[in-house]
Amino acid sequence: AMLGLAAALYALMAVEHLVLPEGVSPEVSRLRPTGEWLIGLVPALALILMQVAAEEVAFRGYLLQQLRARFRSPLVWAVLPALVFGGLHFDPGTYGLVNASAYVLNATMMGTLAALVTMRTGNLGAAIGLHFGNNASMTLFGLEGELSGFSLYGVAMDPASGYATYSILAQTLAALVIFALWRRWMNRHRPIANLPGPA
């Protein structure tokens, strides 16, 4: 389900041009032959998996458990670590102040959702899957430059442009909607059992 969520967010990028004026969408170009890309795909995915697993163990594993044991409010055990996680993505030199802030908002929201998913499922598997799917999608489409080293296609787009702002915010909103649908489905099909009351 979480890999599906990540795939849906990047599928959104493929159809964004349908609702934008002509000339706004970035150009997409092929960066390398398919054979060359496939050779590097397995080690690239392995490195991505190690990276996201380490981050999830730190933020949604250790830190979440330590805070959850001391505080009942999700503002502390879910949102606070997500704010730290989001803050690590702040890069105004690359994205400009507006888009860097939007990126932090997106990462913070995704971190919060990952924490809620972890608490709902009782393990890190779903959060790791969401994070892995999000990052692994860049092996197919990557922003030309530092984020396209393993990508088959490159997206030529100014990270500080208005289109980038739209894309970040659209993905953020889409993630919230999909999470709400997923949570509703979980509550219907996999409800949390009520604990028996005192005798």
Highest mean pLDDT: which range of 42-51, 130-139, 149-158: 42-51
Establish if 22 belongs to a structural domain.
Answer: no
Output the pLDDT for position 162. Answer: 82
Establish if 124 belongs to a structural domain.
Answer: yes
Query: Residue 146 CA to chain centroid, in angstroms?
Result: 18
Establish if 196 belongs to a structural domain.
Answer: no
pLDDT tens per residue across span 93-111: 989 999 999 999 999 999 9
DSSP code, position 31: -
Specify the number of domains making up the chain.
Answer: 1
Establish if 148 belongs to a structural domain.
Answer: yes
Establish if 191 belongs to a structural domain.
Answer: no
Give backbone dihedrals phi and psi of 151, rounded to 5 degrees, phi first: -85, 145
161: containing domain: 2-13+27-186
Structure tokens at 146: 């530092």
The more confidently predicted of residues 144 and 151 is 151
pLDDT tens per residue across span 161-178: 888 888 888 888 888 888
State the pairing for strand pair 141-143/27-30: unpaired
pTM of the model: 0.75
Establish if 123 belongs to a structural domain.
Answer: yes
Output the pLDDT for position 178. Answer: 84
pLDDT tens per residue across span 67-96: 999 999 999 999 999 999 999 999 999 899
Region 7-15: mean pLDDT is 53
Dist CA 154 CA 37 (whole Å): 13
Output the pLDDT for position 135. Answer: 84
Establish if 194 belongs to a structural domain.
Answer: no
Region 22-40: mean pLDDT is 80
Output the pLDDT for position 13. Answer: 52
Establish if 133 belongs to a structural domain.
Answer: yes
Region 10-21: mean pLDDT is 50
